[in-house]
Structures are given as C-alpha cells and as structure tokens.
Amino acid sequence: MPAEWERHEATWISWPHREGVSFPGYYDAVIPTFVAMAKAIGASEILRINVRDGHQEQEIKKKLSPHIPSEHLEFYKIKTQEPWCRDHGPIFVRCKKTGQLIIIDWNYNAWGEKYLPFDDDNAVPSQIADLLDLSCFKPNMILEGGSIDVNGAGALLTTESCLLNKNRNPTLSRQEIEIQLKHYLGVNQIIWLGDGIEGDDTDGHIDDITRFVAEATVITVVEENKSDPNHLPLQKNRELLQKMTLSDGRSLNIVELPMPPGIEREGQRLPASYANFYITNHSVLLPTFAVSSDKTAIGILTDLFPTRTIIPIDCRELIWGLGAFHCLTQQQPVAIRPTGRIEV
C-alpha cells in the first residue's frame, strides 16, 4: 500500500444526501465545506465522486463545475448510505510483480453496526473495481481505512481500541489480524497504539491521532490540558511511539500537533482533530475550527510539507458528522504500469 503522499491518479469521495444520519438537521450547513474540499482536491488531481443518481450528479455539477476543470471531475453512479469514503471505499495497493493497482475490499459494518443499514456502503469497493477493471481481493475481515496509516515502506499504524474491538472481528486474534494486514497490504510491521480521542464513534481511528508524514516521521496529537479526557490516552500513545523503532532499526521522528479546544454540540463532545488532514498531489487539506491553535497547526504542517500548499478549511459544521477530510477521502495511487485485471 503506497503512502498517502505518493503520487495520486485521483481521489474518491462519496457525496452526502439529506436522508443520511451523518448530519442530522445540518445538511445544508455542511455542503459549503464539501464544496471547498472538492475545489481544493480538484485543483490538484482528478476528483471521482460517488452519487446516488443522475439528479444528484447534476446538482453537484452546478456547484463544482465553475471551480474544477472538467478533466478533473468525474461522477460514478454508486449508491452509498453515508459519505465516509475512507472507511467504506476501496483500499488501493500495487502488485509487487507488475506495478498494477489492485483493490482490497475489506468487509465494512459501519463501525461495529452502529448505523443501519450499511449494505450499500459495504458494496462500494467491488463496484469501483468493476468500473475500473481492476482485480479485487476480499479478505474475510472487517477493516475501515481510517483505522490504519502506512508509510509506504513496510510500517502500519493502528490502535488496539479499534482493531481489537469485539464489534469488528470477534473471532480473530491480534496475531491473525496482523497476518491479514501484512498479507493484503504488503507491510511487515504493525505499530499498535492504545485509545483514540473523546467523541470518536469509530472506537479510536488512527487518523484522528497519529499519522505518518514521511517514512520515519509521525505527527501525533497531544492535549496539554490535564483535566481534558484526551490528555492521558494521548500521552500514553506519545510514550508508546517514543519506544518504537522501525523494522530497519530507525527510531521514529515524532512531531507533536496540538488538539483544538474541546468542541461540543447538543451536549455531545465532537472528535475535532488537526490530524484528520488529507494529502493531495499539491496540497494538504487541514480541518480548522476558528480557534487560536489553528495557526499553530498550519505552521507545523507547513514545515512538514514544504512542497505542498496547506489549505485550512473551517470544519465547525463538518465535525458534527464526527469526521473531517481524511475520513471523507480515499486516494487512488498512480499505477506504475497500465491498469487491468491480473492474476496474482
């Protein structure tokens, strides 16, 4: 599995719909954030959008066509329940023998059957494989894309709170899960962290707490306020990272990223995190929350990605859906050789 900063052919997203459960009562309020995200991605690479029907396609085209070159905007009639394409979309890997792309179609159960139904979302990867004429492999295991992060050189980050949760794969041991990850994603090392952040309904996705930004560099969120419920679990994760070495013996270079002040809506703590950024070919989409720590986060990412433009986008409405830009996107890496189905 290539790292996110490697060259993309395209980015996939699934457009939300008014009847979904992600933005109750706030659908109209959140659409401008989707448009801003789409414009930023479309300026850098092809944006491939899953839509329910022709009517939704035309509605979105009116919003995006004035801002995105036509050659960077594609629509696919693939029905989804919710817009979190990182989790229900395909994971693209490259075949070591040929350089061609392969789709890994992990099972999806809406984060432990928290939201029903999820059958349309679960069917997305195989439909994309058919449309792109790519080989598709189906591990007998539930996995969301937001629960893993790779450095493209053999290492994978994840959390015990999510992957070992019995609402995902109750019959699989930790060792069996590691075997599946190594086999299908081409990694040789699993780096396990502990718990995720408060308000995260995914049981602790890694993309809200710690991300690779280079082969041996991770960025990890920390909470300085000791009275905040995120302080202790994030501190423990920071300590685990400090003890880790990569399989080639290198220690991890750890960069700290602040957490924004706690955000609540209707009595619910929301999982706002600067770690949920998305890396495009030319930019980094950074969720911001109209607080003073936004500027600090922008500065840190600017230093880490000197060849990319940092694009801060206000996510105070989007975070009501309990996710941000990384949760909404799925990168399709460039194939080293022409695409097509292969036998492996």
State how far the Cα of 174 lies from the Cα of 232, in Å rounded to an integer.
24
Question: Can you read off the two tokens belonging to residue 29?
Answer: 């309020």
State how far the Cα of 53 lies from the Cα of 58, in Å rounded to an integer.
9
Question: Can you read off the two tokens belonging to residue 334?
Answer: 């460039």
Which residues are designated catalytic?
327
Q: How far is CA 210 from CA 62, 81, 162, 166, in A?
A: 37, 28, 14, 23
**CA gyration radius for the chain?**
19
State how far the Cα of 45 lies from the Cα of 63, in Å rounded to an integer.
18
